Amino acid sequence: MGWAVGYDENWKRDIGYGVPALCDHPDCRREIDRGLSYVCGGEPYGGEQGCGLFFCPDHLYYMEDCHQLCVKCGPEPGDPFPAKPDRPDWICWKLTDESWQQWRDANPEEVAKLRLALPQPEPTK
């Protein structure tokens, strides 16, 4: 089984190394993917210790037990950060690529939500 694209029911978003994303740290705009290399907890969905959000190397901490954790799950425990939304290029891919046609046909409500999530062009005057 590959981890290119999957779905996380907890955070309600696509995951996997095939999903372009931004680091989930609120002060970071670094581009990453939602693969295992970037997941807090180091295991799918965060494993037993992580929150399952995705962080760039600057915002993951490598603990003595070899787990990679974000600041909220490791050094400064607390409620997790809010998850960042999907990047517009990923949304466009899901809305237009032939490989996602079956998913679009089966999920018209989700397709409508994705269309609303895309940046809207400025009206011309």
Residue 18 has pLDDT above 70, yes or no: yes
Residue boundaries of the structural domains of the chain: 6-69, 88-117
Q: What pLDDT, on a 0 to 100 scale, did the predictor assign at position 114? A: 92
Supply the mean pLDDT for the chain: 91
Q: What pLDDT, on a 0 to 100 scale, did the predictor assign at position 29? A: 96
Q: What pLDDT, on a 0 to 100 scale, did the predictor assign at position 48? A: 87
Tell me the C-alpha to C-alpha distance, in Å, between residue 62 and each of 30, 52, 65, 118. Answer: 19, 15, 8, 35
Between 67 and 34, the higher pLDDT residue:
34
Residue 3 has pLDDT above 90, yes or no: no
Taking each helix axis as running N to C, give the angle between helix 88-96 and helix 108-117, from 0 to 180 degrees, rounded to the nearest 10.
140
Q: What pLDDT, on a 0 to 100 scale, did the predictor assign at position 1? A: 52
For the question of whether the overall pTM of this predicted structure is more than 0.85, the answer is: yes
* Class of residue 26 by CB neighbours under 10 A (exposed 0-12, middle 13-18, buried 19+): exposed
Euclidean distance between CA atoms 28 and 40, whole angstroms: 15
Q: What percent of the chain has pLDDT over 90?
A: 74
Average pLDDT for residues 14-23, to the nearest whole number?
Answer: 96
What digits encode the pLDDT tens for the residues 52-93? 999 999 999 987 776 899 999 987 788 999 999 999 999 999
